[in-house]
Amino acid sequence: MKTVVVVDVGIGNLRSVQKALERAASDAGLAWKAEITPDPVAIARADKVVVPGQGAFRDCAIALKSGVAEALRAQIAQGTHFFGICMGLQTLFRTSDEAPGYEGLGVFEGTNVRLKDGERDPVTGQAVKIPHMGWNAIDLHGNGHPYLDAAGGAGTHFYFVHSYHAVPADSSLLVATAQHGPFAVTAAVARGNVFASQFHPEKSQAAGLAVLAAFLRS
């Protein structure tokens, strides 16, 4: 049985991600074991890697310095399939406005910026709430992505909880956005063996399980 590692960087509900991966594998008839660990050695030998997380960029950046960052970069470089969730997406980029002076993995160039307070929805006129929290439909960019297609593609609803979102230096990384008032929020980025979502597949019911199953099949 192959192992997908859920990387423990000290933030987020890791057990819910583990359970969602196990459910997605079971429903799809796939033989995968999901293991939670902060151990760089276990990360380095994993067949696939998931980095989830809710919380602060600073805390995640500090946790990565324990050898986890090197293990993750090595796995990505050798072609291991990687899935980042929420903070796991943001930490793919070098910096964040949330924590000046702290660096993420730097796999992609770009930064993370805060959704601006005090804005109004251009359609309804209502004040836009930050954090962005709740269900939103996605819009696909470029060719989209097979994981998102497996869940229904454009218009599929996923669950979001965040105040910051990634702004890639290379816009071709962007495969999906979600509209939150006036903001086109980065919903997913991808390149090669790396995929990451700002939404939480483990909280997104059938659509989220479909994305995770597509990841495990890849």
Alpha carbon of residue 208 to chain centroid:
12
Alpha carbon of residue 15 to chain centroid:
16
Mean pLDDT of 200-209: 98
Provide the whole-model pTM. 0.96
**Catalytic choice (86, 98, 132, 162):** 86
Q: Are 189 and 174 in contact (CB under 8 A)?
A: yes
- Please say if 60 is a catalytic residue: no
Helix%, strand%, coil% for the chain, nearest 5 = 30, 30, 35
- Please say if 200 is a catalytic residue: yes
Domain count, the chain: 1
Per-residue pLDDT band for 53 (boundaries 50, 70, 90) equals confident
Alpha helix ranges (H) inside 29-114: 40-45, 57-64, 68-77, 87-90
Output the domain CATH number for residue 63: 3.40.50.880
pLDDT at 186: 98
As given in the structure block, the two tokens for residue 211 are: 């994305």
For residue 115, the enclosing domain spans 2-217
pLDDT at 11 over 90: no
pLDDT at 132: 96
**Catalytic choice (132, 141, 162, 202):** 202
- Please say if 145 is a catalytic residue: no
Q: Of 4-13, 46-55, 113-122, 209-218, where does mean pLDDT reach its minimum?
A: 4-13
